[in-house]
Amino acid sequence: MAAGEADCNQCPPGGAEGVARLSALTSQPALALNPANGAEGPRGMAVIDEDWCIGCTLCIAVCPTDAIMGSNKLMHTVIEAYCTGCELCLPVCPVDCIQMENASGKRTGWAAWSQEAASLARNRYQFHSYKQRRDAGEAAKKLENKAERKLADLPAHSHHTDPEILDRKRLTIEAALARARARNAAGQGPPD
């Protein structure tokens, strides 16, 4: 296997049939599902106990399909049609008010997903990923503009008046801007 490739047995939601399909697509061996990632089972759906929700927004931040709606310090809820059962919201909830319910009955793995549900999940994930990249790019650009404004009139933006300290500060800001521009030019975006 080439560097950077992963085995095609890492996705419990797709189950054994998902592994077989990925194996056929990638010409990799169809290994048994990796138990480190979970077991094949019914598709889950997150349900928030609204009486216990404190509105921390941590679940909203990790949901890869934007299936959780709510606002800071207000109750949250799950949009059932958008929830993929990924369980990423469970470990971040500080009050354990999120539970998983069976959304597919006895159907497990590949059979637990209709083509429509799978397409919706994929489209929502792609849009969520796009929004994250866009927002990170906008935030990086704002920081870059702020740094450039400070560089343009560093004495007005500093508590220091010593020219030597201002020169060191200027060099530090210029170096940080150069690193950020190099990352952006390489297509890496802002650091995590």
State pLDDT tens for residues 75-121. 899 999 999 998 999 999 999 999 999 999 999 988 999 999 989 99
Mean residue pLDDT across the chain: 87
Residue ranges in 50-114 assigned as alpha helix (H): 58-62
Q: Which residue, among 36, 54, 156, 144, has the nearest Cα to 97 in the 3D structure?
A: 54
User: Which whole-number Å values give the CA distances from 129 to 111, 115, 124, 175, in the listed order?
Assistant: 26, 21, 9, 29
| Rounded distance between C-alpha atoms, residue 76 and residue 65, angstroms | 15
pLDDT 10s digits, 141-174:
888 888 888 888 888 878 888 888 888 888 888 8
Residue 68: band (very low, low, confident or very high) from pLDDT cuts 50, 70, 90: very high
Q: Is the pLDDT of residue 189 over 80?
A: no
Question: Around Cβ 48, how many Cβ atoms within 10 Å?
Answer: 20
Entry pTM: 0.67
Residue 37's pLDDT is 85
| Rounded distance between C-alpha atoms, residue 156 and residue 154, angstroms | 5
| Rounded distance between C-alpha atoms, residue 123 and residue 20, angstroms | 23
| Rounded distance between C-alpha atoms, residue 73 and residue 63, angstroms | 18
Q: Which amino acid is at 155?
A: P
Residue 11's pLDDT is 82
pLDDT 10s digits, 23-32:
898 899 989 9
Instruction: Match 């928030």 to its residue by tokens.
Output: 48
Residue 160's pLDDT is 81
Q: Is the pLDDT of residue 192 over 50?
A: no
Answer for the pair 33, 12: CB distance below 8 angstroms, yes or no.
yes
Residue 4's pLDDT is 44
